[in-house]
Structure 1
């Protein structure tokens, strides 16, 4: 599957994350948490596919993505940083192992929050978010994506972690084995993990060592 869609809105929501709202093809369906390969509809870019996760609700009239822009090299996201409303993207195949099963703890690092946003919005809309908890780690406060919305949805069940900045109200440490022991009581519940590969690998290993069963660990393998 590949379909060309027009960009309806494109704007930065943090210093390096840009939100895109694009046309939604007819009868287009995805599962919250899934991703899709996207390319830019320009001759030299249309065959360069990159995966991005949906952040919109499935029943929304348009599709939304929150994409981190890397402007230190001439890659796809650098070009997306220059892409604006009325430009065109190409949607390709949908994929992804991250899907909501039952309440648990979501652990996200940086842009690893993006597949969870669609899940949270769906659960919140249906009054089913209660019983879930979010641990979200970033380097600094300015890196946090959709922080106000996440706080509004989770309230006291939102643990905001900063690894390179000490601010009142935030946890200033890394998510290591000791952190998990201090912040999680029940290791038999579901764990949803997404972020940089090394972070996911370390967290999954530590959760397993602390008693979490493989079938309760949901992450992109």
Structure 2
């Protein structure tokens, strides 16, 4: 396993609890869009505490970018990352991940599970090949949505947001369940890409397979 110590070039919050990190890119360091790496912090006592984070930048960029949800309710890696900024060092480990673009289809994400799809969408949009793909994005509230402006710009009407706890007048709670999938998707013969918390991925995958999606056309993290 090859480790790379890199400096943080820039860091900033993009939502109330998600922080974007732009870091140095090691020479000849490459990945497939949708993949991730394990990251640790180059500080005493934190070097061996590895957490997986997805690359959100395009491969031709001279930096690497991560969008990381900061959990402040316990003294873990992300809470520590919430307090470090430009100039601090991270340790990158091996690249891994099964999520990658195969054919146009429906992308279903929950929360920070959108991150593997961001680089894929950015690449397809740059190539003018994004048409024919659709995103269904689940969050608790509108404040939790990542990169909403960019996603709307890229996907236009092929972008559906689902909120489970939006506290506004007239809002009806929705969840992506079997009925939602039946009501909102007409073709289960296309590719499906699912990412989010493990329970979310398991439930959505189960529903999709029951509705006729095959294991060959269902792309999830293994």
TM-score by length of 1: 0.97
The equivalent of 1:66 in structure 2 is 67
Pairwise mapping of residues 1-221 of structure 1 onto structure 2 (< 5 A)?
Answer: 1-165=2-166, 172-221=173-222
| Matched residue SS, 1:84 | coil
| Matched residue SS, 1:127 | coil
**How far off its partner does 1:170 sit?**
8.3
**How far off its partner does 1:162 sit?**
0.6
Cα RMSD (Å) of the superposition?
Answer: 1.4
**How far off its partner does 1:137 sit?**
0.5
Paired with 1:85 and 1:69, the residues of 2 have a C-alpha distance of: 17
What stretches of structure 1 of length at least 5 have no aligned partner?
none
CA contact (8 A) 1:55 1:65 kept: yes
What stretches of structure 2 of length at least 5 have no aligned partner?
none
Paired with 2:151 and 2:18, the residues of 1 have a C-alpha distance of: 16
CA contact (8 A) 1:166 1:172 kept: no
Sort the Cα spacing of 1:195 and 1:26 in 2 relative to 1 into closer, same or farther, 3 A: same
1:62-83 Cα deviation digits (max 9, x unpaired): 1000000001111000100011
Paired with 1:116 and 1:172, the residues of 2 have a C-alpha distance of: 25
TM-score by length of 2: 0.97
| Matched residue SS, 1:30 | coil
